[in-house]
Structure formats: structure tokens, C-alpha cells
């Protein structure tokens, strides 16, 4: 679902950054009021898990791939606004260090996966699980349905953004300058891939993790109540490490995600010509570890190394951001409570 640089016009990229900015500002304001030193590690953990989850490519009939995101899961654990910041951080690291997505299109990718997905998914989750206790089956059902609808909504947004490019930005002769496929092709392609494959995987992962947390860390799925200190959070960190080691499974899915083709791949797709704007912008940023690998390094080793590098970067960044945002709340918790006078 990542939209690479070159597939959206600079105008569209600017519009999407502008559309995302109010949500980022609101997220910072809300998180500043609720995040504490105890929940910062949880934000770092689940943001890193989202990054790792996105490395598991899912084969789609027709030769393309897709992936789950984990945005609704993070929203369930900490609330939708921390999810906006956590997933945005993961997407930024992907674009900056691994060339997954793009820096110009980061606003659009964050709008789709870090804003629309967790907000839609969490809203549906809350409607279904409202007023239920932490162990209620409605929590799991809400997580499954909410995460499924969240990723489908994000896919629809990406399909629309890609599909309007040929109509809005083209040469005098009508040749597209950026994404080459019209909305009649782009929107169904994105929806089918996520309705049929990525959506069910997202739902199974989210529902499975929520069911596990209900048994072992029930306070983590009560996003509307203060978090208690969890004594076995290290088990979840261990699970993240295992998932990172297993990321080469994602290499088994052949093909490129729909709408993420490189110029060489587009030349083999019978388009007749490669859009001029796309040729100029695609791959302009020299990512240090493009496509989650390094030259002269085996693909499996490179993928695992990339997973751990990404986890370290995301954990460090979200931890620093979280500690900064939670500083006021942490000081309030440590401040002594003044006893009222008995007079």
C-alpha cells in the first residue's frame, strides 16, 4: 500500500501533507496529555511491531503482493492518537532508510495508514466493544472487524489518490505524468487485494494479539483507562525479536505490490511509455538500505538485518518522542499530594 515517490504529483503530495498535518498536531496535543513514562515502552514496542509486520509480504493472485500494518492494534492498545504518531514514525523510517514508500509521498502514506486506518479501525472497535470488560469476546470481535475495515479504508484512499493522477496531471496529448492507471483500474485493484488477502491477515493478526493480551496483559487493551505496570512486558519484546528473525518469510511472496513498480518493471507492462514525472522522481532518494538489503549481502541476511535496524531506529525515536511528550504527566505522577487542612 506504500505509494512510492513519482506516483503522485508534487501538488498532490503537498495536499496530502497539508491534510495530514492537523491530525499530527492533534495527536501531539492529545498524547501529551495522556502518555506516561509507563506507556512509552508500549508505544515503542507496538510501533516497531507494525514495522516488522509490514515486512511480511502476502502474495496476491495476479503476481502482486500486499501486507498487513497493525495500525488498529496499536490504537486498541494505547488509543488512536498514539497510533497516529507511532505508525507515522514507522512509515518515516521505512521511507528514509529503506526506500519503502517515499519522502515526497510520506504525507499520503501517513494519511492512509497512520491516520485513516487507526481512526476507522478504532472507531469500529469501540462501537462493537463499548462498555465491555477487558476479557469480553466483544473485544476480540471488535478488533477483527475494526482492523479489517481499517485497512480496507486505507486501501481505498490509496486507490483514489493513485487513480486521480492521470485525470489531473497529463501531457497535452493525454499521456499520464505520474501514476499511469485511472481510478477505474487503481481503486478496484487496491480494494480487491486488501478485501481478499491483506484484510483477512490484518484481522487475524490483530484479533490474535488482542486475544493473547486479554489472557496475559489485560490492562493493555483497556485504552480508555490508565495503564497498570505490566510485569511480563519482556515477553512481548521477545515476541517482537522472533518476528524480526522470521521476516525472510516475506521474501517468499514474489512480485511487487500494486502501484509500487519501479521504472524497469513498468517498461515490461505494455504501457507504451513511462510517465515523464514518474521517471524524474522515482528513486530520487538514496536510501541507505534500499529494499531492505545491502549490496553483496544475501537477501535473507539483509532482510533480517534490516528488520533489526528498523526496530532499533523506531524504538529509539518513539521512545525519545514519547518521553518528551510524557514528561509533564510523569512529573505530575511523581509530585507529592498535598493533604487538605483539617481546619
Query: What is the reported pTM?
Result: 0.92
Model pLDDT, residue 6: 95
Mean pLDDT calculated for residue range 251-279: 86
Backbone angles phi, psi at 235, to 5 degrees: -65, -35
Q: How many residues does the chain have?
A: 343
Q: Where are the domains of the chain?
A: 10-334
The closest of 325, 265, 336, 262 to 86, measured between CA atoms, is 325
More confident residue, 234 or 200: 200
Relative orientation angle of helices 71-78 and 117-129, to the nearest 10 degrees:
50
Record: fold of 10-334: Arp2/3 complex 21 kDa subunit ARPC3 (1.10.1760)
Q: Tally Cβ neighbours within 10 Å of residue 10.
A: 13
Distance of CA 210 to the CA centre of its chain: 18
Which pLDDT band, with edges at 50, 70 and 90, does 224 fall under? Answer: very low
Give residue 328's pLDDT band: very low, low, confident or very high (50, 70, 90).
low
Q: Is the pLDDT of residue 105 over 50?
A: yes
259 to 151, 161, 191: CA distances (angstroms): 16, 11, 12
- Report residue 339's pLDDT band, with 50, 70 and 90 as the boundaries: very low
3-state secondary structure of 52: helix
Residue 29 neighbours by CB distance under 10 Å: 11
What is the pLDDT averaged over residues 253-261?
Answer: 87
Amino acid at each position: 500500500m506504500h505509494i512510492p515517490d513519482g506516483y503522485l504529483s508534487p501538488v498532490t503530495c503537498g495536499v496530502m501533507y497539508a491534510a495530514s498535518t492537523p491530525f499530527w498536531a492533534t495527536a501531539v496535543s492529545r498524547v501529551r496529555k495522556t502518555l506516561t513514562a509507563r506507556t512509552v515502552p508500549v508505544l515503542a514496542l507496538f510501533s516497531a511491531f507494525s514495522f516488522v509486520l509490514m515486512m511480511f509480504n502476502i502474495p496476491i493472485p495476479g503476481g502482486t503482493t500486499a501486507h498487513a500494518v497493525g495500525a488498529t492494534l496499536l490504537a486498541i492498545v494505547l488509543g488512536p492518537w498514539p497510533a497516529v504518531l507511532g505508525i507515522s514514525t514507522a512509515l518515516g523510517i521505512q521511507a528514509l532508510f529503506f526506500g519503502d514508500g517515499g519522502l515526497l509521498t510520506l504525507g499520503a502514506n501517513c494519511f492512509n495508514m497512520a491516520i485513516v486506518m487507526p481512526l476507522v479501525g478504532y472507531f469500529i472497535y469501540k462501537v462493537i466493544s463499548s462498555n465491555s470488560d477487558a476479557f469480553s469476546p466483544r473485544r476480540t470481535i471488535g478488533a477483527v472487524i475494526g482492523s479489517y475495515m481499517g485497512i480496507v479504508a486505507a486501501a481505498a484512499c490509496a486507490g483514489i489518490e493513485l487513480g486521480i493522477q492521470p485525470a489531473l496531471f497529463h501531457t497535452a496529448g493525454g499521456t499520464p505524468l505520474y501514476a499511469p492507471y485511472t481510478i477505474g483500474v487503481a481503486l478496484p485493484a487496491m480494494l480487491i487485494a486488501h478485501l481478499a488477502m491483506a484484510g483477512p491477515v490484518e484481522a487475524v493478526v490483530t484479533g490474535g494479539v488482542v486475544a493473547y493480551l486479554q489472557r496475559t496483559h489485560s490492562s493493555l487493551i483497556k485504552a480508555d483507562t490508565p495503564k497498570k505496570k505490566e510485569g511480563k512486558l519482556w515477553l512481548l519484546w521477545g515476541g517482537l525479536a522472533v518476528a524480526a528473525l522470521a521476516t525472510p518469510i516475506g521474501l517468499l511472496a514474489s512480485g511487487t505490490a500494486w502501484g509500487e513498480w519501479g521504472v524497469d518493471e513498468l517498461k515490461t507492462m505494455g504501457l507504451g511509455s513511462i510517465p515523464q514525472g514518474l521517471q524524474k522522481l522515482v528513486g530520487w532518494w538514496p536510501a541507505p538500505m534500499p529494499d531492505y538489503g545491502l549490496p553483496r549481502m544475501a537477501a535473507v541476511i539483509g532482510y533480517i538485518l534490516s528488520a533489526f535496524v528498523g526496530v532499533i531506529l523506531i524504538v529509539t525515536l518513539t521512545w525519545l518522542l514519547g518521553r518528551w511528550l510524557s514528561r509533564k504527566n510523569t512529573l505530575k505522577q511523581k509530585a507529592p499530594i498535598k493533604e487538605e487542612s483539617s481546619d
